[in-house]
Amino acid sequence: KQEVTQIPAALSVPEGENLVLNCSFTDSAIYNLQWFRQDPGKGLTSLLLIQSSQREQTSGRLNASLDKSSGRSTLYIAASQPGDSATYLCAVRGGANSKLTFGKGITLSVRP
């Protein structure tokens, strides 16, 4: 059974800092991995999707990497801003027809 872990559960950083959010998964046989952002009381916003054949994806100040063999993904946020404060969730799809397995998320607070 796939398990997705995100540590730490919460993170507080000063504005402007570059930061890395980690995600680990137990079964390396994944189809793809997706990073989401969730603001309090809201739905999930898709940030980046990485296919199993890819090593990284970039969107603006965000860069996500994938190392399937070690069961890890990282989300890099450059020059963090207070508006980046949210919960970031990592989700793994195990096969072409399988459901997403979510981590519990990392709650990020960027201090002005």
Q: Could you list the residues that contact other proteins (CB under 8 A)?
A: 31-32, 34, 36, 41-46, 49, 51, 89, 91, 93, 96-100, 102-105
Cis peptide before 82 (omega within 30 of 0): no
From residue 38, alpha-carbon distances to 62, 83, 107 in Å are 15, 12, 9
Is residue 84 classed as helix, strand or coil in its secondary structure?
helix
Q: Do the beta carbons of residue 72 and residue 80 sit within 8 Å?
A: no
For tokens 């296919």, name the residue.
51
User: What is the smallest separation between the CB atom of 33 and other proteins, expressed in angstroms?
Assistant: 11
Phi, psi angle pair for 24, to nearest 5°: -125, 150
Is residue 109 classed as helix, strand or coil in its secondary structure?
strand
